[in-house]
Structure 1
């Protein structure tokens, strides 16, 4: 098969430089994936390779450029996700409706089709279950979506809770004040909030009571209204705990419930409240389920392979 050069012409040299990535890292990923050689002089991108490879890599490069024009991030992890999502088919253009916007930072853009589905579900439904293996972005996307609603004034509060299984929910026996007892279990939530809002904004809103992160047991007896609520690591909630928190739902509130039903840490072979809820709430209007797979893992490329290996071993 003859190898020729295809030239893509763009308008903005700065966007082309960003398309290439630091030290041409983005181009290197595309070259490796499609067996092509790419150069980017000025506002043009030259693709050298056989006809099918040039066509597919060119399609991907055009999509990346369009995303950059919209102000969307396109680093190496985004490029890897786009390549995986392509498979042997065509690249799927990201929906503008699927981004998570923020007033003073670039938007969060889904990296896989199921991440996009999860964002759409959080927009359209009231209670959304996002379940699947670690590293698929469930907690981060749910936290980012809720933080976006808070930053744009669409909800009054962001609330996140996790079952503190490691402490047996007996936090009174641990040293320190409530924050010192709770924060180690909630750090993934705080990390995501700091990433999307910034530490100063998080501290300000936390002091004002707009952001609350607490153990699941602390939701008992409350009505959660005008809020976006993330129930994380929900596989470690018991059936009574899950019923308790789901029935706290108040007016103008949404829930995102995230977890991996296969990784419950509940003692004595207790049935996971998450697995139970998934089985009995699947046909109620306003409640949706998005199930992530190992192919949705967006951490280090090895993580997806590790998840696959464990899934095969458990079958």
Structure 2
């Protein structure tokens, strides 16, 4: 027997926040629960079997702290809430939502969106060396940059060092126009983007001029000991085993290092092993090192990105 439940939303802003762009969230709620979900003005109509209506209603209510405040609900929020309901982790879900890591320059809240992301954040707060692998859009670099900037501004570290191997440049780097900084900028752009989300460009420029924030290719780390520093090694799948060993052994006193990468998108030559994969195998049982693997379920970009990554993963598994 079909049932219908009506949920009255407090205002138009909450209705927009819950429905999402082109009502994509309502479609996802329907796919996740089997219920029929329709928004009429500020009234949400949920119909279907008793079980479908009950599940969908609980799922919508579990998102209430977001849509009631007019905070846009994402597909990841819905999937994480569904996972919390299935695994009886509602209390943990509440903690996840309340743990606001920072605010962007536009005032938007930055927080872990999934349980795996939150575990990653917790490791970065407590471990001196953290590895995080996963596909594009899972927040590997961005979350690390958020915590690093906050720790730097709180004077927990003296320097923030952002580095990545400029594999694409190779020996051609010298032929690019401009000085060294201009030559390497294209390869470090994702790191800059994360910084600019959090801090005024003028402040970033000032910190870089004073050497407090350093953005450089991995090759420039050789021979150094990085004390009192928060180090982010990005795109680590493009390191060779020798480069990875060199990078890891730069870690000095009162320093923290986060290593991120996507092992499915290496730009190394076919016969070259990835330093990231090798390090994860060698160091797996070393005390004091944390390892995290994010998946397509942790993607916080356009919902289509999740489906693209899932399709590739299915193809690779065949």
TM-score, reference length from structure 1: 0.83
Conserved? CA contact 1:134–1:260, under 8 Å: yes
Q: Which residue of 2 aligns with 1:60?
A: 59
Aligned runs of 1:23-62 on 2, under 5 Å? 25=23, 28-29=26-27, 31-33=29-31, 34=33, 35-37=35-37, 47-62=46-61
Q: Which residue of 2 aligns with 1:207?
A: 209
Q: Could you tell me how far apart the structure 1 residues matched to 2:154 and 2:11 are? A: 33
- Give the superposed CA RMSD: 3.2
Q: Which residue of 1 aligns with 2:177?
A: 175
Distance 1:309 1:255, change over 3 A: same
Q: Could you tell me how far apart the structure 2 residues matched to 1:72 and 1:259 are? A: 34
Q: Which residue of 1 aligns with 2:236?
A: 234
Conserved? CA contact 2:229–2:256, under 8 Å: yes
**Alignment gaps of 5+ in structure 1:** none
Residue aligned with 2:291, SS: strand
Conserved? CA contact 2:12–2:41, under 8 Å: no
Q: Could you tell me how far apart the structure 1 residues matched to 2:259 and 2:146 are? A: 14
Segment drifting more, 95-104 vs 107-116: 95-104
Q: Could you tell me how far apart the structure 2 residues matched to 1:76 and 1:49 are? A: 24
Per-residue Cα deviation, 1:166-200 (whole angstroms, up to 9, x for no partner): 11166344321111101100111111111232434
Conserved? CA contact 2:29–2:78, under 8 Å: no
Conserved? CA contact 1:29–1:80, under 8 Å: no
Q: Could you tell me how far apart the structure 2 residues matched to 1:225 and 1:309 are? A: 43
1:143 aligns with 2:145: yes
Q: Which residue of 2 aligns with 1:110?
A: 112
1:100 aligns with 2:101: yes
Q: Could you tell me how far apart the structure 1 residues matched to 2:99 and 2:16 are? A: 22
Distance 1:180 1:154, change over 3 A: same
Give the drift of 1:240.
1.6
**Alignment gaps of 5+ in structure 2:** none
Q: Could you tell me how far apart the structure 2 residues matched to 1:194 and 1:21 are? A: 29
Per-residue Cα deviation, 1:67-110 (whole angstroms, up to 9, x for no partner): 568x8954434545436645855674142585423597444222
Q: Could you tell me how far apart the structure 2 residues matched to 1:127 and 1:196 are? A: 23
Aligned length: 311
Residue aligned with 1:159, SS: strand
Q: Which residue of 1 aligns with 2:219?
A: 217
Conserved? CA contact 2:62–2:81, under 8 Å: no
Per-residue Cα deviation, 1:202-238 (whole angstroms, up to 9, x for no partner): 2333233222211011111222222221101101111
Q: Which residue of 1 aligns with 2:80?
A: 82
TM-score, reference length from structure 2: 0.82
Aligned runs of 1:268-283 on 2, under 5 Å? 269-283=271-285
Give the drift of 1:160.
0.8
Give the drift of 1:6.
4.9
Give the drift of 1:134.
2.2
Per-residue Cα deviation, 1:43-66 (whole angstroms, up to 9, x for no partner): x86655543333333333333233
Residue aligned with 1:136, SS: coil
Aligned runs of 1:224-303 on 2, under 5 Å? 224-267=226-269, 269-303=271-305
Segment drifting more, 119-128 vs 141-150: 141-150
Distance 1:17 1:301, change over 3 A: closer
Q: Could you tell me how far apart the structure 1 residues matched to 2:147 and 2:296 are? A: 22
Distance 1:165 1:103, change over 3 A: closer
Q: Could you tell me how far apart the structure 2 residues matched to 1:293 and 1:101 are? A: 23
